[in-house]
A and B are shown apart, each in its own frame.
Chain A
Amino acid sequence: MMFKPFRTGLVSALALAGAVSAAQADGSLTVAMQLEPPHLDPTSAAAAAIDSVLYSNVYEGLTRFASDGSVVPGLARSWDISEDGLTYTFHLAEGVTFHDGSAFDAEDVKFSLDRARAEDSTNAQKGLFAAIDTVEVTDPLTVVVTLSKPTGSFLFNMAWGDAVIVAPESADTLQTTPNGTGAFKFADWVQGDRIELVKNPDYWGTPAVLDEATFKFISDPTAAFAAVMAEDVDVFYSFPAPENLPQFDMDPRFKVLAGSTEGETILAMNNKLPPLDDVRVREAVAHAINRQEIIDGAMFGYGTPIGSFFPPHNPDYVDLTGLSDYDPEKSKALLEEAGVTLPVRLKMTLPPPSYARRGGEIIAAQLRQVGIEAQIENVEWAQWLETTFRGKDYGMTIVSHVEPMDIGSLANPDYYTQYDNADFQAVIEELSVTADPAQRSELFKQAQTMLAEDYVAGFLFQMALLTVAKTEVEGLWVNMPTPAVDLTAVHWAN
């Protein structure tokens, strides 16, 4: 009898909880992901989590990515490109309002683009706007952007989350109160726990099906598993523990979506650090790696092998994995030919994600077989950025490059890979001024081949996107052309 008050309390608490989850059944969805956005302005930070929550849902740009990675009209419904490829005339959608009620027009576009490329801009992808010379407003629904040089990827650049259109009045407060034009409005943010969005009733385009969407942040893989199993969440985007996926697959309550991302996962090598400055040594490293063993061991079988710095789902992809197939005997021969003293000792820095930490252990074991001793050093991201990425104090490291179409970043000789090949730089330079699709495709293929033949890095695998969802949830993106959980078309079956 002593416990009676406690039990009554518990029962009423349970009843309350039951009532809440029943009300959530239809028009609402809870999506969980691991990382929480640091703030809510995609135009002033690199954190992918910001885009994951807000891209397309709350903020929109002139163009946008569709689920297959193609670039489709966004706030700009159509555009004309001049013959010389320098002038883009964007025709904007009519009757668009921001969530705070103010009207959207060409001035907002001019403001957003000028803000992103200004001298004191804190845009993490400022390079996307580098080619813009002037932005002019001709009438409230027309913007003319003039480029200083032809840029084949300009419409693609404008689809990034970092290029969304914001209003001048609210630009300084976006970090806490996002104000966009999308199909969902920001409602609430309980820091450390969740962000709530509600349907925008005044949306200019096809309205969202869901009435409410909640993003929950669960960083611990074990907790992630428990949250899905207890049905606390309806979707877990980028599920962190691939070892649990077979269990979800068998459970009729859930489905597992395995898609592709833009994340080329590589064993980066410091191309200027002896003995890695010798292409034969880099080739030896490449042949010592057994990709399938890494995919199986670190990613539980999810991931597609790659042979260069390019995603396999792209139409311009060339399969170059044969150039660096697993062949430890060849590795040993190459090392002997290069005349290095064995064992070769190299520092391998590993950032926190499990692909790097688990993958690093496996690669170290594989390299040991051919006489390369990898000295593993586990680091946090902040430390990795400072010492490995900027300080270039490393021999090898494992990282997944998630930006779309980032093959050009390797053309920068000051990049952390320190790869310096004038021919490759020329191809990338030509790509940036070429707009013709056939020519671009040819150049992309050339660039991929050069990287593979120069063994710039150990190319491992394309990161898979693993999403666990309740069976009845439909309309989710399976692939990740950009970090986004686009909920505009998501709905419950029946």
Chain B
Amino acid sequence: MLRYTLSRLLSLGISLAVASVVIFLAIEVLPGDPAAYMLGLNAQPDTLAALRDELGLNGSLWERYADWVGGMLRGDFGTSYTYRSSVSEMIGERLWVSLPLALYALTLSTVIAFPAGIWAAARRGKAADVTVMGVTQLGVAIPNFWFAMLMVLVFAINLRWFSAGGFPGWDKGFWLSLKALTLPAIALALPQASILARVMRSALLDTLSEDFIRTARAKGLTKGQALRRHALRNALIPVLTIIGMQFSFLLAGGIIIENVFFLPGLGRMIFQAISARDLIVVESVVMLLVFAVVLVNFMVELAYALVDPRLRARA
């Protein structure tokens, strides 16, 4: 288990190093000067020069890369060009929206998908299966932002049960904040739950046709008992992979939903930062997201080993 963990950690480190170079270069080649963006049409050349100096934009490419990576290793993400506040603090604040939202959506998605997938697999070809397959087909096909706007129309504008968006902040009350995240979480969870339920169903069906299930049935277990005791655990590997990918997607990919519900999350921050050429914020947030994705994959790989003892032995 230790060697397995170490080899996964090494590949995690390499992925991060490569990502940092790619992110930095991709963003530095974008045309656009953050100082010019801030000072607008009437800025005088000497003012621009003064601001560029103040922001430290005059160093060489290599110097700026070394500064950035060195700072991150020390836990210092630098200071935003436009907001002029610490990037780590900005990210911290936004994470308090994006992370709970991603977890909320993932929980909803799992809570819906597991029973639905198992139910459909247990009643293969029957009405239940057809229903689940039909509904999830729809769930995969509907764009989440459209579904989000539909919910806003029904629950915020007509029924007035929810606000159309915004986020009060956790210090204003837990339930109030949770409520503000509910519609966005449902919108995010719907397609994810549909995908997960379908994966769950097909993984279970694959396992159910294996020899060991027949043996279990021959031993006298009912179909349900065989499914619960033997098939479920064996079907978990593809499901875990999908959950890991979904979490990364929910954390980084909430940008459209964040815009629909005007939530102050990470996605919106990246969006604003790109248009203002607040390069340091873009670089740091993208790097953080890469880190999160790599970390989640790492944890999923560890989870494989927990679920499947053969992986532990092999490594």
Measured CB to CB, the residues of A under 8 A from B are: 9-10, 12-14, 16-17, 20, 36, 38-39, 45-47, 119-127, 175-176, 190-194, 216-220, 222-223, 226-227, 229-232, 352, 380-383, 385-387, 389-390, 401, 403, 406, 409
Contact = CB atoms under 8 A, between A and B. Distances in A.
A338 B156 CA distance: 59
Given A126-B43, A191-B85, A352-B275, 12 more contacts: A10-B179, A13-B178, A16-B176, A39-B84, A47-B40, A122-B54, A216-B262, A231-B160, A381-B37, A386-B36, A389-B36, A389-B41
6 contacts: A45-B38, A122-B39, A175-B83, A217-B262, A219-B259, A387-B31
Contacts of B58: none
A222 B149 contact: yes
A119 B157 CA distance: 53
A127 B45 CA distance: 11
A232 to B, nearest CB: 5
B84 A175 contact: yes
Q: Which 9 A-B pairs have the closest CB atoms?
A: A46-B40, A192-B264, A382-B32, A38-B82, A226-B164, A13-B175, A230-B164, A193-B264, A382-B277
A10 B162 CA distance: 10
Contacts of A227: 164-166, 262
Contacts of A46: 38-43
A380 B167 CA distance: 28
A220 B262 contact: yes
A163 to B, nearest CB: 13
A23 to B, nearest CB: 12
A193 B166 contact: yes
Given A230-B164, A232-B164, A382-B36, A219 B50 contact: no
A409 B84 CA distance: 29
A126 B47 contact: yes
B260 A223 contact: yes
Contacts of A220: 259-260, 262
Given A38-B82, A46-B43, A227-B164, A120 B31 contact: no
Nearest to A32: B262
Contacts of A9: 175, 178
Interface residues of B, number: 59
A382 B277 CA distance: 7
Nearest to B47: A126
Given A127-B42, A386-B32, A386-B33, A13 B176 contact: yes
Interface in B182-212: none
Contacts of A222: 149, 260
B57 interface: no
Given A39-B84, A219-B262, A227-B164, A124 B34 contact: no
A10 to B, nearest CB: 7
Interface of B: 30-34, 36-44, 46-47, 50-51, 54, 82-85, 90, 93-94, 149, 152-153, 156-157, 160-167, 169, 173, 175-176, 178-179, 259-265, 268-269, 272, 274-277
B28 to A, nearest CB: 13
Contacts of B33: 382, 385-386
Residue of B37, B94, B272, B275 ringed by the most chain A CB atoms within 10 A: B37
A112 B84 CA distance: 20
Contacts of B37: 381-382, 385
Contact of A17 (B39, B54, B176): B176
Nearest to A21: B163
Given A125-B42, A382-B275, A383-B31, A16 B175 contact: yes
Contacts of A216: 166, 262
Contacts of A10: 179
A122 B166 contact: no
A227 B34 CA distance: 31
Contact of A223 (B44, B261, B275): B261
B149 A17 contact: no
Contacts of A16: 173, 175-176
B40 A124 contact: yes
A383 B157 CA distance: 38
Nearest to A174: B84
B165 A126 contact: no
Contacts of A13: 175-176, 178-179
Most B CB within 10 A of own CB, among A13, A17, A382: A382
Contacts of B43: 46, 124, 126
B31 A386 contact: yes
A270 to B, nearest CB: 16
A219 B85 CA distance: 22
B264 A190 contact: yes
A224 B169 CA distance: 20
Contacts of B260: 220, 222-223
Given A381-B275, A386-B33, A122 B51 contact: yes
